[in-house]
């Protein structure tokens, strides 16, 4: 990594002042041991038309990094992320963090190190759960909040936008539409974005030590939340897949996947009645994912965010 590299850390937020403050505080502790410290600007896009994040931002204006603050009045995560990109396009790299995340001190150092080692246009890192209170044992047993991790340098097929580094060349290639507004209230905008990236020949490389922690509130510690997440995930993944690869073979494969998930879930529901709770819930999640998948074939989606960004 050469000196003079510039990075814009982009954060989109909606009425989470306490979590945003924690994130901005964590950014003050970034360390750089493997690469030279880049020129950093923090771009914050507030989706609250009343600018509720402004007072938190003001606390950090004279701190370690320059901050650029914007209010995006159009409702939805696609609009806020696109506004963030517009505000940061002169940077060599853009890094995205969600407002309910906190990076470890070596987070950006690791992302930039892997980018340099592999000349990677996109680098993604793990997002680990940090529960606001102790979750029930059945939830821990089921590992419902743990995502896949890979060896550093592994090429992966897709990514979320919660912990990722993008080279400017990627954004130029996808301009003028980055995160598609059609997905702004349903979810799946990041799946759609990164699938388009890989189809354009931009690989996503994994950086396993570039860790960010996601705050998991108590309202998510319920079977209802997990079922809705599985249903929505099956729906938007299929919507993206059948749009970007509309071949008969792929359509048939995706439809069969939905049916298979339903059969799996039904079978597990039958045999798991005497098993621990996390096994029973696993069957419900498979049913939900399958139904969300098949709903996509009817051109239907779910309002994941309930009419607003969460």
Neighbouring-strand partners of residue 165: 95, 123
At residue 184, the pLDDT reads 86
Q: Rounded to whole angstroms, how far apart are CA atoms 224 and 59?
A: 37
pLDDT tens by residue, 251-266:
999 999 999 999 999 9
Q: What is the pLDDT of residue 92?
A: 97
Q: What angle do CA 130, 134, 137 make, to 5 degrees?
A: 110
Residues in the chain where the model's pLDDT stays below 70: 1-3, 305-310
Provide the pLDDT for residue 131.
Answer: 96
Residues 6+ apart with CB under 8 A from 256: none
Q: How far apart are CA 118 and CA 220, in angstroms?
A: 37
Return d(Cα 76, Cα 74) in angstroms, integer: 6
Identify which of 135, 153, 155 has the alpha carbon closest to the alpha carbon of residue 145: 135
User: Which of 12, 31, 159, 161 lies closest to 104 in space, CA to CA?
Assistant: 31
Q: For position 3, what pLDDT does the model report?
A: 59
Element containing residue 118 per DSSP (H, E): helix 107-118
Four-way CATH pick for 6-220: 3.40.50.300, 3.30.390.10, 3.90.550.10, 3.90.79.10: 3.90.550.10
Q: How far is CA 126 from the centre of its chain?
A: 10
Give the predicted TM-score (pTM) of the model. Answer: 0.92
| pLDDT attached to residue 280 | 87
CA distance 180 to 103: 26
Predicted local confidence at residue 306, as pLDDT: 53
CA distance 102 to 19: 9
Listed by start position, the domains of the chain span 6-220, 223-296
């Amino acid at each position: 990594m050469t000196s003079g590299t510039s990075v814009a850390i982009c954060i989109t937020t909606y009425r989470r002042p306490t979590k945003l403050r924690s994130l901005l505080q964590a950014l003050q502790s970034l360390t750089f041991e493997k690469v030279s410290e880049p020129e950093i600007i923090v771009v914050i896009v507030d989706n609250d038309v009343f600018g509720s994040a402004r007072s938190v931002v003001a606390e950090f204006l004279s701190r370690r990094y320059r901050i650029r603050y914007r209010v995006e009045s159009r409702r939805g995560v696609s609009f806020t992320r696109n506004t963030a990109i517009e505000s940061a396009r002169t940077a060599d790299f853009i890094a995205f963090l969600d407002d309910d995340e906190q990076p470890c001190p070596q987070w950006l150092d690791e992302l930039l190190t892997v980018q340099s080692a592999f000349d990677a246009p996109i680098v993604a890192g793990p997002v680990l759960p940090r529960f606001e209170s102790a979750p029930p044992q059945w939830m821990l047993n089921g590992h419902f909040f743990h995502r896949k991790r890979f060896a550093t340098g592994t090429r992966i097929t897709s990514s979320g936008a919660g912990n990722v580094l993008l080279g400017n060349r990627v954004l130029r290639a996808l301009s003028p539409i980055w995160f598609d507004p059609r997905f702004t209230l349903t979810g799946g905008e990041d799946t759609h974005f990164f699938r388009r990236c890989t189809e354009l020949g931009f690989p996503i490389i994994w950086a396993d030590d570039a860790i960010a922690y996601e705050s998991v509130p108590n309202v998510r510690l319920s079977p209802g939340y997990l079922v809705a997440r599985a249903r929505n995930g099956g729906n938007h993944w299929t919507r993206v897949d059948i749009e970007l690869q509309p071949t008969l073979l792929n359509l048939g494969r995706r439809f069969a996947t939905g049916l298979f998930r339903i059969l799996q879930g039904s079978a597990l529901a039958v045999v798991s009645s005497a098993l621990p709770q996390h096994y029973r819930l696993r069957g419900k999640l498979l049913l939900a994912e399958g139904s969300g998948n098949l709903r996509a074939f009817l051109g239907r989606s779910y309002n994941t965010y309930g009419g607003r960004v969460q």
